[in-house]
Amino acid sequence: MPEKNNLRLLAAIMFADMVGYTRLMQEDEQKAKDLRDRQREVIDGCILKHRGQVMQYYGDGTLSMFGSAIDAVNCAKEIQLLLSKEPKVPLRIGIHIGDVVYDDEGIYGDAVNIAARVQGLGIPGSIMISGKVFDEVKNHPGIKLQPFGEHDLKNVYAPVSIFAVANKGIEIPELGYIQEITGSNKNSVAVLPFANFSPDPENEYFSDGITEEIINSLVKVKGLQVTSRTSVFAFKNTQKDIREIGKELSVSTVLEGSVRRAGNKVRVTAQLIKTDDGFHIWSENFDREMKDIFGVQDEIAQKIADKLEENFTFDTDRKLYEASTDSIVAYNAYLQGLYYWNKRTPESVHKAIGFYEEAIEKCNTYTNAFSGLANAYTFLGVIGHMQGKEAFSKAEKNAYKAIELNNSRADSYISLGYVNLFNHWDFNSADSNFRKGITLEPENEEARSAFSLYNRIVGRYDKMLDQAKAAVKIAPLSLPALNDLAKSHVLLKNYDEAVELYDKIIDLDPNYRAAYEGKAYLYAEQEDFENAQIQANKYIKRIKGPNKGGTQLGFLAAMMGDKKEARKNLKLIEKRQKEDSDLNLSLDFAVIHASLGDKKEMFEYLNEAVDHKLGAVLFLNSIPAFTKYSDDPRYIEILNRIGLPNESLITT
């Protein structure tokens, strides 16, 4: 017997299936056959036109193969538009791209199974595609798409991202329809930021803190999907309908509430709402004294779990909220620190440090406050708003104390990983601690972002991108996570993807200045200096204080060959440095001199950055202004001082 001629290839697989064919055969056999024949006639013509091949007919459906995802989607669009005319054929189409085995008898493989499952999520007249197809067609101007999030599909190992083609004339299913089929979000909740109803508006930190503590409690419920803090806080003060929020976050329930604090009394109001119809599942008021606030948080979390447990099985046979302090005064200070830390500006982080230190003064075993303090000092040391040796020394002391108090929290190991990285340039220990954090809490957004940053520094750009994507998957509306992902795409020269992400950040928060700075450098890399200057000015406009803008405008002026303007901005940086002795602007000076071609001055400032342990010097190999001098012996000497490998250089 001759052997089969098997061929393995990457292909776009299209499944087309006629809805209700079996029932129609029972009701009107001739009509069913006529519609089936019309379907095949249209499909045959369109597939030939779009360079595809029909691999198999079966009863009421067709299995086809294409060499291009764009051809497959365009073919599916034409098929659906033609079959929407009388006599209408109720057809569902699903498309996936992947490896298949092709022989004389047909095609086989996981890609075929996934295409069939994706098709099964559609409605008559729809075209459903997988995330892999989306990656291939997302920038095509003639294809409009609507996302539906990730879903578990039968007999498919990993969750699959699902999208629908949304062009005019193509039907689109409701999210609830897909969720009902896959059962993907029934056991999910988003805790919206609790409103501050206290007489003093300054108590907003307290209502934000209550929100975060309840989120942290619910995360412990096994089997319950809880939307991350950074995603839900994008809806702070929003007027959006709960049903809209549910669709955006892909959750079945939302908890919203308010906090009213007056003196030693506190009232917490909470209500759990279904997102499909906006109906309330449960609501309750909690009137307590401040000393009982820890019990209130556990009670709220437990009641949410209990209500969801009526339909699903969760592991809730334990106390959900475990306070890391029994001091109300310390807790109050910690919440204020957390409030300012989440703003991530130099000014706010300095305020956060003061409140964290106050919390520790009131409770010297407060784990969360120690790890928060470590991260705050690291942040200031990295950006040069505190001398590195001082900042990282303090960060290390507090990170070790956090682990000493509680060695089972991811945040403690993340803090220590940052210290390993920026204080000791101990890349192996940093790798180990970041991985430890991810192992302890795989859904910790900060752990993923930290590991992404680490991989950027050591030059593993594929892993950098993977971890940045993982952080955004955990927290799809997190501005820092989206910003990190955009930076990753810039380093890999995926400029279109980066601009799309920066624009999304700006849509979410027009005052998030890091996005404007990122776009400015992106356009500069592409030598689109007009747009680079526009974005740089938008960034500068959002900074308070005098002497601002020297670095960005000086760099752009140097790139454009305007040496006079570049040196004028160098004077502005010098003025900033003299007025604030805590600042370390060595890298700011170095990047402008690098762009001016002043190699001597550039290497002097880079060595100064190394001498003073400026955290950002570790990004040396991923800054194009510097890497163009990578063959210079002085550059290699700096790499050796830090311990960075030569292979971590970006390709220019």
pLDDT at 312 over 50: no
CA 325 to chain centre: 31
Q: What span, in angstroms and rounded, lies between the C-alpha atoms of 468 and 193?
A: 25
Q: What is the pLDDT of residues 155-203, one digit of tens each?
A: 776 778 888 998 989 999 887 678 777 766 667 888 888 888 887 777 7
Q: How far does the chain reach from its first CA to its final CA, in angstroms?
A: 55
**What is the pLDDT at residue 316?**
47
pLDDT at 498 over 90: yes
pLDDT at 445 over 80: yes
- Bigger pLDDT: 106 or 609? 609
β-pairing, 225-226 vs 188-191, is: parallel
**What is the pLDDT at residue 311?**
46
pLDDT at 125 over 70: yes
pLDDT at 447 over 50: yes
Q: Within 10 A of 258 (CB to CB), how many other CB atoms are there?
A: 17
* 8 A C-beta contact, residue 100 and residue 9: yes
**What is the pLDDT at residue 321?**
45
Distances (CA, A) of 490 to 84, 131, 251, 468, 519: 42, 21, 31, 13, 9
* 8 A C-beta contact, residue 214 and residue 191: yes
Q: What span, in angstroms and rounded, lies between the C-alpha atoms of 204 and 197?
A: 9
Q: What is the pLDDT of residues 50-79, one digit of tens each?
A: 999 998 887 788 999 999 999 999 999 999
pLDDT at 282 over 90: no
What tokens were used for 633? 């012996």
Provide φ and ψ at 255, rounded to 5°.
Answer: -105, 125
**What is the pLDDT at residue 546?**
67
Q: Report H helices in 28-141.
A: 29-49, 69-83, 110-119, 131-137
**What is the pLDDT at residue 333?**
86
What structural domains does the chain harbor? Answer: 7-182 (3.30.70.1230), 188-323 (3.40.50.10610), 328-442 (1.25.40.10), 594-652 (no CATH)
**What is the pLDDT at residue 440?**
80
Nearest to 226 by CA among 242, 213, 208, 244: 213
**What is the pLDDT at residue 548?**
67
Q: Within 10 A of 292 (CB to CB), how many other CB atoms are there?
A: 14
Comparing 149-163, 519-533, 576-590, 629-643, the range with the smallest average pLDDT is 149-163
pLDDT at 329 over 70: yes
Q: What is the mean pLDDT of residues 322-342?
A: 79
Q: What is the mean pLDDT of residues 472-485?
A: 85
pLDDT at 86 over 50: yes
pTM of this structure? 0.60
